[in-house]
Amino acid sequence: MSFQYLTNLPLDKAKTEYIDRLIQNGMAPKTETISVTQAAGRITAEPVYARINSPHYNACAMDGIALMAHLTFGAGETTPVSLTAEQYTRVNTGDKLPDNCDAVVMIEDVIECDDSTIKLYDSASPWQHIRQIGEDICAGEMLLPSRSRLTPASLGAMIAGGLHQVEVIKRPIAGIIPTGDELVPPTKDPEAGDILEFNSTIFSAMLRDWGAEAVTYPIVEDNLDSLRTAIASALKECDIVLVNAGSSAGSKDYAAEAIAANGEVLYHGIAIKPGKPAILGLCGDKPILGVPGYPVSGIIVIEELLRPIVEYLCRMSQDPAEYTDATLSKSIVSTLKYQEFVRVRMGLVNSKLIATPLSRGSGVVTSFMKADGIVNIPQGVEGFESGETVRIRLLRSKEALSRSIVAIGSHDPLLDELTELLQRATDGQISLGSSHVGSMGGIMAVRRGEAHIAATHLLDEKTGEYNIPFIKRYFPNGGVRLVECVKRTQGLILQKGNPKNITDISGLKQEGLRYVNRQKGSGTRVLLDYLCKNEGIDTSSIYGYEREEYTHTAVAALIAADSADAGLGIYSVSKLYDLDFVPVCNERYDLLIPDYAWDSPSVQAFLEVLKSSAFRQKLDDLGGYTVENPGTVIF
Amino acid sequence: MSFQYLTNLPLDKAKTEYIDRLIQNGMAPKTETISVTQAAGRITAEPVYARINSPHYNACAMDGIALMAHLTFGAGETTPVSLTAEQYTRVNTGDKLPDNCDAVVMIEDVIECDDSTIKLYDSASPWQHIRQIGEDICAGEMLLPSRSRLTPASLGAMIAGGLHQVEVIKRPIAGIIPTGDELVPPTKDPEAGDILEFNSTIFSAMLRDWGAEAVTYPIVEDNLDSLRTAIASALKECDIVLVNAGSSAGSKDYAAEAIAANGEVLYHGIAIKPGKPAILGLCGDKPILGVPGYPVSGIIVIEELLRPIVEYLCRMSQDPAEYTDATLSKSIVSTLKYQEFVRVRMGLVNSKLIATPLSRGSGVVTSFMKADGIVNIPQGVEGFESGETVRIRLLRSKEALSRSIVAIGSHDPLLDELTELLQRATDGQISLGSSHVGSMGGIMAVRRGEAHIAATHLLDEKTGEYNIPFIKRYFPNGGVRLVECVKRTQGLILQKGNPKNITDISGLKQEGLRYVNRQKGSGTRVLLDYLCKNEGIDTSSIYGYEREEYTHTAVAALIAADSADAGLGIYSVSKLYDLDFVPVCNERYDLLIPDYAWDSPSVQAFLEVLKSSAFRQKLDDLGGYTVENPGTVIF
């Protein structure tokens, strides 16, 4: 075959060569003629010339009388002019100016005498109170040049200028072909091994945002013939074809071969991460893109490689991407081999924009949902250090970011419920983004000035006291407040019915038991280690001690799915999954808020929500919480 | 009747009281459940919780083999571990992890031996190359709080979380009722006295931009019963009703009465200009707005009074309006009685943002089409002086404004053609906004540092020379370049067939002849005065000498429509309207470009277009131009 197999081409080179080749082959915007009433937001393909004047007749602009102005010359307070019926005509606003008239006098200034004679006490200027022909638009005049975006007012101007249709740039049609034996449509309850086909929904929404139309074809099995045929028929109907997935080089990956059979594969493999196994193919002037199956890879590939093509075909530059500098709250290690795109969550903390990297897994679509920006790590760069200033492409406005609360620390689903109450109370104006890095991670983030709020439940082994000893140690000079939130019940989360008969922590040692742990630095892991130490249990004897999850919910989910037998976590998640639960202790779950954040309107709104009865109600529903005086400063 | 008749209520008070009253009456957002695939851009009404985990099974993340990791412990370069067929299972990416396995080894690291034995030279960590249940999403976890705008990625996350429908805020439905005997649908060729009904097209596009749905009802005649019935039936189908027009207090204005018959008129008359005769009515929790008929008034009224209601019902704040300071290039006089909204054209000239007021006529819809921003003059303020810094609400981004060329000066349709060529050459990136204030106005604008380009054709009576004597006089220290554009033919534009038998300027004196003039300061008016002086004609003897138009095209349009008999202007517009033409002289039409603008990429792109053959071709089509070396610096 003629194509280059899994190359590692730099992105910019790939993009430029791909687009140049397509243009060389004749790729160009198409145009269509549509009704003016339907043309809002579209781009003119040709200059628009008015067909008629507006007004198209000399129109009276007032209710009153029309006359020749010279008849009123000399009129004044003491020298009124009298006019007889033949000398004037009564008119309403919008009426055609009668022949042999060149002025309108407002009805308020007309003094009616007996019979039909009137008196005027002021002279009229020629053409007063008349909207003359062409006042707004002259026939033949250029209303809009080509490449103009049609605003609501410009639609009105076109109709006023006698135009009912307008030639605009046609939206290119992008056809999406999902392929893979494991794919099932999003409307079916999936079996193990099934993958819900949701990429086409994401890609369609992105394409529509950029000005294209999107068509999704039925799922094609992993079979060269079927895929080749599907591409061929999509090429008949579309300007752009996307094949998703099968773009890699595995035994069931037919995208490259099927594209080549319909045209040509220009490149296969781009030096980006995620997104490497992209295929840049074409059939004449039509791009055929092989898009990787992992959603995050796919999003990056179409954003980087397809968007410029769509914009070229739409003749529509979106507002240019907004960039900003921000301080990285965590190091990012990257490979030298690829240009890498890392999603980050952002917030304005203590007058500094902070960026926290989100999960880099190609399958973690929520990382894009949560992302406020994207860091681009060039090829040949090893990454960025924590604390370093990095350039970020913004996905949310800086203004919105300035209203966002950065919560870093321990996980509890109640944080999501607080977010919900906050968004509802403020109509989505104030949001809260929480990163689950454990209690200790939260304390450190506050110390570095990188968080507004840190949730913490750290037990001091010596004193048996929660949180306060750590605050004293890490903030010897103060500068922070510890705010009461809740007490919550920690315990062993077990499969429904407790089939392994676990009654306390010592049960974790039993042969064949699959434990699932929390990550290092989390309060819950500290608690497990403390409990094991007290009971003299060697943690290396627990199968699954190294299996780390970042949230209580994830631990419970694995147990509910029979992928694990036990884990330490809070009662509310065991209730959520209807699992068994052996209580181990009650712990304080508090919120650390630095002074620099305290007075911000966002944090004050958060504290209001924390004190609300709606929050108490929600905790009741979740279960396993003791609520006293949330929102009270306790240290 | 109970309503206050033509009040003059301050806008802010009216807005607040109106919305408060509607909310008091129960106005609130509605919700609807829609397919996730159709939900892009919508706002969640309730928090969204995942129904299933994603992945919903432990999935192999690589092609290779699955096994228990402990079987590989101790493997190394010199101590490979051998495994037999029972000890591992071959897997592909996406496969369910087989039971009793906790790791995947990549196929590249598997050394196949004879039979089905394999060797591994490296140990595997538990859970490596496995996408564990809930890696992305855990069942029961809150994916999104309410009041979140659904991005493409969030649609994918919802489907991955097992959701196929989502409850979102319903778009409010706004019904528009056009009313007026003089209105005709935009699809008909209008007679004198007909008004094309285009307001509903403008309003619909605005409403859709704000997140509402818009329905336009058939035109209703000026009749109380008909209008009352139309409102009643719209109220059954819509959340908001707009009556356009008949909102004033004339004999044929039934809007207020018809609204009152369906509910209540809260206020009639708001202290804004344009837009005073607005009616704030309601029926229970539904707003019924009486909107003035002039398009500019209507746009202001719905922007100021309806938009906040739509945003309230959509629970969707648009990006907050962007404001900027700019220098006013012309004074604006305002009445103390009203808060006034003045449209301005803007540009970045010599590092200073310049704002030039556009036509303030309520019927001039092109003023909104051309506007880059809006100046808000508070009630009780007399206006702003030229040169004053004013606060402006931007309608275009500052970035786009920085690429816009400000051309102020003499009018010629060739400027529109240059704009077209420029927009086409730069795909709409560089635009040109021209204000027609006459040659002298252009020179003054350049002198004040407020224009990039000024077109000028000023004849120096003493020397008979064009433009250069004026440049010498007004720019004694230089700082500007005069660039050759064209020579053009000026002459008398006359009705087709020259019914008045005019052969030269002296013909303008004849009894009953209707002349139409250009505005003071325009080069063409200077030329007329010069010609009259030479011929000894008293201009006060010319009927219509005071009738001023701002463009050549407008003069020709009036003559073509038999509203005038003669005017002085260029050949190309007489050709456009197929009129008779008596040439009077050939004049230089040059472009003055200040040094501060010369090197800007926009001006350089303009000069390229000026030199292009496409421009020459266009001038040939227009007619009446002599083209030598456009783009050459001649002084």
Please count the helices (runs of H) and the strands (runs of E) in chain B: 18, 37
For A205-229, how does the pLDDT look when each residue is reduced to its tens digit (9 = 90+)?
Answer: 999 999 999 999 999 999 999 999 9
Tell which of B202, B248, B370 to mutate to test the A interface (max A CBs under 10 Å): B202
pLDDT, mean of residues A304-324:
87
Beta-carbon count within 10 A of B1 CB: 10
pLDDT, mean of residues A87-109:
92
Q: What mean pLDDT is reported for chain B?
A: 93
For B559-571, how does the pLDDT look when each residue is reduced to its tens digit (9 = 90+)?
Answer: 999 999 999 999 9
pLDDT band at B23 (very low <50, low <70, confident <90, very high): very high
- C-alpha to C-alpha distance for A490 and B438, rounded to whole angstroms: 81
In chain B, the percentage of residues whose pLDDT exceeds 90 is: 86
- C-alpha to C-alpha distance for A169 and A43, rounded to whole angstroms: 6
The answer to whether residue A182 neighbours chain B at the CB level (below 8 Å) is yes
Report whether pLDDT(A4) > 70. Answer: no
Q: Do A146 and B423 touch (CB under 8 A)?
A: yes
- Residues of chain A contacting B364 with CB distance shorter than 8 Å: 135-136
- C-alpha to C-alpha distance for A128 and A598, rounded to whole angstroms: 63
Report whether pLDDT(A196) > 50. Answer: yes
| pLDDT score recorded for residue B3 | 44
| pLDDT score recorded for residue A8 | 85
pLDDT, mean of residues A7-33:
95
The answer to whether residue A160 neighbours chain B at the CB level (below 8 Å) is yes
| pLDDT score recorded for residue B355 | 94
User: Which DSSP category does B505 fall into?
Assistant: G
Q: Is the CB of residue B309 less than 8 Å from the CB of residue B301? A: no
- C-alpha to C-alpha distance for A168 and A39, rounded to whole angstroms: 8
pLDDT, mean of residues B569-574:
96
Among B459, B221, B211, B200, which residue's Cα sits nearest to residue A38?
B200
The answer to whether residue A541 neighbours chain B at the CB level (below 8 Å) is no
Residue with tokens 């009153």: A64
β-strand A339-349 against A272-273: which pairing, if any? Answer: parallel
**Between residues 249 and 308 of chain A, which touch chain B (CB distance below 8 Å)?**
250-252, 295, 299
| pLDDT score recorded for residue B437 | 87
For A438-458, how does the pLDDT look when each residue is reduced to its tens digit (9 = 90+)?
Answer: 899 999 999 999 999 999 999
Q: Do A202 and B366 touch (CB under 8 A)?
A: no
Q: Is the CB of residue B46 less than 8 Å from the CB of residue B169? A: no
pLDDT band at A318 (very low <50, low <70, confident <90, very high): low
For B245-291, how does the pLDDT look when each residue is reduced to its tens digit (9 = 90+)?
Answer: 888 877 778 999 999 999 999 999 999 999 999 999 999 999 999 99
Smallest CA–CA separation between A394 and chain B, in Å? 14
Report whether pLDDT(B137) > 80. Answer: yes
Out of A40, A363, A368, closest to residue B131 by CB: A363
| pLDDT score recorded for residue B4 | 47
| pLDDT score recorded for residue A462 | 86
| pLDDT score recorded for residue A252 | 79
- Residues of chain B contacting A29 with CB distance shorter than 8 Å: none
Report whether pLDDT(B1) > 50. Answer: no
- Residues of chain A contacting B29 with CB distance shorter than 8 Å: none
- Residues of chain A contacting B573 with CB distance shorter than 8 Å: 140
Among A47, A59, A37, which residue's Cα sits nearest to residue A134?
A59
| pLDDT score recorded for residue A616 | 96
Report whether pLDDT(A3) > 70. Answer: no
pLDDT band at A317 (very low <50, low <70, confident <90, very high): low
| pLDDT score recorded for residue B318 | 65
| Least confident among A49-53, A378-382, B6-10 | B6-10
Please give the interface size between A and B, counted as residue pairs whose CB atoms are below 8 Å apart.
339
Q: Is the CB of residue A71 less than 8 Å from the CB of residue A87? A: yes
ipTM reported for the complex surpasses 0.95: no
Q: Is the CB of residue A192 less than 8 Å from the CB of residue B56? A: yes
Tell which of B148, B215, B366, B415 to mutate to test the A interface (max A CBs under 10 Å): B366
pLDDT, mean of residues B596-606:
96
Among A102, A130, A105, A103, which residue's Cα sits nearest to residue A120?
A105
pLDDT, mean of residues A362-373:
92
Q: Do A428 and B147 touch (CB under 8 A)?
A: yes
- C-alpha to C-alpha distance for B57 and B44, rounded to whole angstroms: 28
For A595-632, how does the pLDDT look when each residue is reduced to its tens digit (9 = 90+)?
Answer: 999 999 999 999 999 999 999 999 999 999 999 999 99
In chain B, the percentage of residues whose pLDDT exceeds 70 is: 98
**Between residues 557 and 576 of chain A, which touch chain B (CB distance below 8 Å)?**
557-558, 560-561, 563, 573, 576
Report whether pLDDT(A2) > 60. Answer: no
Out of B139, B186, B315, closest to residue A557 by CB: B139
Residue with tokens 């109106």: B18
Tell which of A37, A248, A365 to mutate to test the B interface (max B CBs under 10 Å): A365
| Closest residue, chain B, to A108 (C-alpha) | B250
| pLDDT score recorded for residue A442 | 94
Give CA separation, A239 vs A26, A32, A234, A256, A482, in Å.
Answer: 12, 14, 9, 19, 59
Give CA separation, B270 vs A398, B97, B280, in Å.
Answer: 36, 70, 9
For A550-566, how does the pLDDT look when each residue is reduced to its tens digit (9 = 90+)?
Answer: 999 999 999 999 999 99
Residue type, B590: D
Give CA separation, A495 vs A490, A557, A563, A564, A624, in Å.
Answer: 16, 10, 10, 8, 18
| pLDDT score recorded for residue B2 | 40
| pLDDT score recorded for residue B317 | 65
Our CA angle for B394, B400, B406, nearest 5°, is: 90
For B367-426, how does the pLDDT look when each residue is reduced to its tens digit (9 = 90+)?
Answer: 999 999 999 999 999 999 999 999 999 999 898 899 999 999 999 999 999 999 999 999
Collapsing DSSP states into helix, strand and coil, what is residue B420? helix
Report whether pLDDT(B5) > 70. Answer: no
The answer to whether residue B143 neighbours chain A at the CB level (below 8 Å) is yes
The answer to whether residue B583 neighbours chain A at the CB level (below 8 Å) is no
The answer to whether residue A134 neighbours chain B at the CB level (below 8 Å) is yes
Helices B152-160 and A199-210: angle between axes, nearest 10 degrees? 170
Out of B136, B192, B364, closest to residue A366 by CB: B136
- Residues of chain B contacting A94 with CB distance shorter than 8 Å: 180, 182, 193, 195
Residue with tokens 């002296």: B506
Residue with tokens 């994401």: A202
Residue type, A447: R
Among B187, B256, B200, which residue's Cα sits nearest to residue B228?
B256
Q: What mean pLDDT is reported for chain A?
A: 93
The answer to whether residue B434 neighbours chain A at the CB level (below 8 Å) is no
Tell which of A106, A132, A302, A311 to mutate to test the B interface (max B CBs under 10 Å): A132
The answer to whether residue A50 neighbours chain B at the CB level (below 8 Å) is no
Q: Do B43 and A159 touch (CB under 8 A)?
A: no
| pLDDT score recorded for residue A1 | 39
- Residues of chain B contacting A209 with CB distance shorter than 8 Å: 40, 152
